[in-house]
Amino acid sequence: MKALPPDEIEKKSFKIITDELKDKGPVVINGNTRIDDTAENAPVMNVIKRCIHTTADFDYARTMCFSDGAVKRFWQLIEDGAAIVTDTNMALSGINKRKPAQRGCDIRCFMADEDVAREAAGRGITRASVSMERAMALDGPVIFVIGNAPTALITLKEHYDRGDYKPSFVIGVPVGFVNVAAAKEMIMATDMPYIVNSGQKGGSNVAAAIVNALLKGMPDSDGKGRLSDTDGEKEPDNAPGPSGNDKTRRGFTTGSCAAAAAKAAAVMLFERETIDSVSIMTPSGMEYQTDLTDVMLTKDDSDKIIASAAVRKPECDDPDITAGMLIYARAEFADARKDSKEGSHQPDGSYVNQTGNVCIQAGPGIGRITKPGLDRPVGDYAINTVPRRMIEHEVHSVMEENECTRDIVITIYAPEGEKIAARTFNPKLGIEGGISIIGTSGIVEPMSTKAVLDTIRVQLRQKRALGEDIVVITPGNYGMNFLKERYGYDIDQAVKCSNYIGETMDMAVSAGFKAAILAGHIGKLIKVSGGIMNTHSREADCRMELMAASVAEAGADTDIIRQILGCVSTDEAYEIILKEHLEDGFSKHLMDRIVIHLTKRTGSMKIGSIVYSNRFGLIGATADAESMLKELT
């Protein structure tokens, strides 16, 4: 056994935790909300992983509770210099103090103070209660970090009920048996911002771990932000290239490009001069500096000045069909459009979104939404909410510098958008006529897995928005003729999950589907019979072993099992099964195992499955699957 340095131990530990969480099924917060381990959920997942790392207890993946916006609220309080008060010196000593100290946060524990002990004894109450009262007397906001004493939470609730104090934030994870669970429930029944572990588990070490996870995920004071905890993610640099020790290149989203182009056009509109570069701050905390192209200052027939500029979308190591395309913005002072209403259709057919003094609209190459379930309403152009806010923020900043009180119209367009969008998922998602202006962090992480999973999530959400209760999930188009000919089902209506069967099932449950049918080729679905929920060959390839197991259950002798194990393809193995007349028993065991593992993964959602081969046709189908499929056709 080789000794490892501390950072390597921590990295390996988080890798184990991440892998275990995948095997154990979806993480649940707030009692019933399933969340996926995605970049969007990283701040919450990092808290949960840090609790598991501290305790080696995976129950925290089911019992953690977060008030709405809890993580961002905590970050803002730290930025504002809030005090942190703990109920034990152990929690105090366990908190990483670098970031709080940089922002002037005072971290204190009153429990060991002699006057606290005297007052508690004289009043016949606990030191924890007196400590909380001392904390309430501090000037400014206070973050309460409670890992030991339920009476600390009870005291906070009593003062809250009397209306004389409302905590700015509560981390409530006391441990024990007396009043612990009830005290936590009391906090969660209020409108206090909180992070709580329901039930009896917790402790000072857990309280400190939660604070440290939140601090670790918080943007640094120099503007650079950590996207994830110590599970392999690196802090991004200030440019779309290799980051630190990370050899992959990051890029910037179409939303960042649109916001940068809009800012550039606004600057030129006021300065009446062209510029050749611009910089913006993305929501991730990264600065985006970019050169401009095709910059123009023109006048229309009425002598009105119009400024426009384009940003070329940077390439990165994520497969991205929009890399290299030009995203344009045009800026002009509003005239008749000044009175446009929020979300109104204009006489020229455009759909305008106006907030304050900035009116955002779309031109050629930007798709229009035709189906529900997306970020924007049907009829709107596909400029998502976060990019809209980025555009508004950047243009408003220019307007404020120039003390502008007039309205400005920003038009985003992409001349190549319609052509490029035809090669994306946009038409299937109900986005017609162009690309989407998207992004939540402003940067593109080189993770094609996330892009695939995000697309799957959107497809599932759309189907639910259209009122569908049953979803067909398939790894791809392989065998589409079989489903069409046998069941009359168009596989283009299915949700393509690629190799991510487990994650897709989790998302189907979260979306609220009552039933799911998993249909696919035996080469993929044989793996699901062994509980393998990612069917990529690099994750696992035990097709022959699983076929051998099922054929053994069907009564095959040792010689047949050895022949199966020696095959190189599922079709070759199935040919032996047919020759030995073992297909009925094989099929029953195969389908039973698939349903067992999927049901274990999804819980109460009804599961059906159809397995086929291009060469041999139907291998097996559950009765539920065939009846449910008929409902859809």
Q: Give dist(CA 21, CA 12) in Å, integer.
A: 14
Residue 251 host element (H or E): strand 251-252
**Average pLDDT for residues 595-612, to the nearest whole number?**
94
Interval 399-436: pLDDT, tens: 887 778 889 999 999 999 999 988 877 887 788 999 99
- What architecture does CATH give domain 6-216? 3-Layer(aba) Sandwich (3.40)
Could you tell me the pLDDT band of residue 286, with boundaries at 50, 70 and 90?
Answer: confident
8 Å CB contact between 414 and 434? yes
Interval 540-554: pLDDT, tens: 778 999 999 999 999
Interval 9-59: pLDDT, tens: 778 888 899 999 988 878 999 988 999 888 888 899 999 999 999 898 999
Interval 314-332: pLDDT, tens: 876 555 678 889 999 999 9
- DSSP code of residue 440: S
Report helix, strand or coil for 612.
Answer: strand
Q: Which of 53, 396, 521, 589 is catalytic?
A: 53
Cα R_g (the chain), whole angstroms:
29
For residues 536 and 77, the model is more confident at 77
Nearest to 511 by CA among 544, 573, 570, 468: 468
- What's the mean per-residue pLDDT of the chain? 84
Could you tell me the pLDDT band of residue 249, with boundaries at 50, 70 and 90?
Answer: low
8 Å CB contact between 187 and 172? yes
Bridge partner list, 291: 277
Residue-level pLDDT at 353: 47
Q: What is the DSSP string of 266-309?
A: HHHHHHSS--SEEEEE-TTS-EEEEE-EEEEEEE-TT--EEEEE
Could you tell me where the DSSP H helices lie in 25-146?
42-55, 60-63, 70-79, 89-94, 98-102, 114-123, 127-136
Which range in 215-224, 459-468, 585-594 is most confidently predicted, on average pLDDT?
585-594
Residue-level pLDDT at 115: 87
Could you tell me the pLDDT band of residue 227, with boundaries at 50, 70 and 90?
Answer: very low
Q: Give dist(CA 580, CA 567) in Å, integer.
A: 15
Residue-level pLDDT at 119: 92
Sign of the four-CA dihedral 418, 421, 423, 427: negative
Residue-level pLDDT at 376: 84
Residue owning tokens 């070490």? 205
Measured in whole angstroms, the distance separating CA 47 from the mean position of its chain's CA atoms is: 14
Could you tell me where the DSSP H helices lie in 370-447?
385-401, 417-421, 426-429
Which CATH number is 249-444 given? 3.30.2110.10
> Taking the chain, what is the end-to-end CA distance rounded to the nearest angstrom?
59
**Average pLDDT for residues 304-320, to the nearest whole number?**
82
- Kindly state the tokens that stand for 438: 């998207």
Bridge partner list, 471: 516
Q: Give dist(CA 565, CA 572) in Å, integer.
A: 11
Interval 203-215: pLDDT, tens: 988 999 999 999 9
Could you tell me the pLDDT band of residue 537, with boundaries at 50, 70 and 90?
Answer: low
Q: Give dist(CA 312, CA 288) in Å, integer.
A: 12
**Average pLDDT for residues 587-611, to the nearest whole number?**
94
User: Hey, where are the domains in the chain?
Assistant: 6-216, 249-444, 448-632
Nearest to 417 by CA among 367, 383, 369, 451: 367
Q: How buried is residue 280: exposed, middle or buried, by Cβ count under 10 Å (0-12/13-18/19+)?
A: buried
Residue-level pLDDT at 236: 29
Residue-level pLDDT at 441: 72
Q: What amino acid is encoded at 355 in this protein?
A: T
Residue-level pLDDT at 103: 80
Bridge partner list, 29: 33
Q: Is 53 a catalytic residue?
A: yes
Interval 495-532: pLDDT, tens: 988 889 999 999 999 999 999 999 998 988 999 999 99
127-160: string of b/e by CB count within 10 Å (b at 16+)?
bbbbbbbbbbeeeebbbbbbbbbbbbbbbbbeeb
Residue-level pLDDT at 320: 65
Residue-level pLDDT at 481: 67
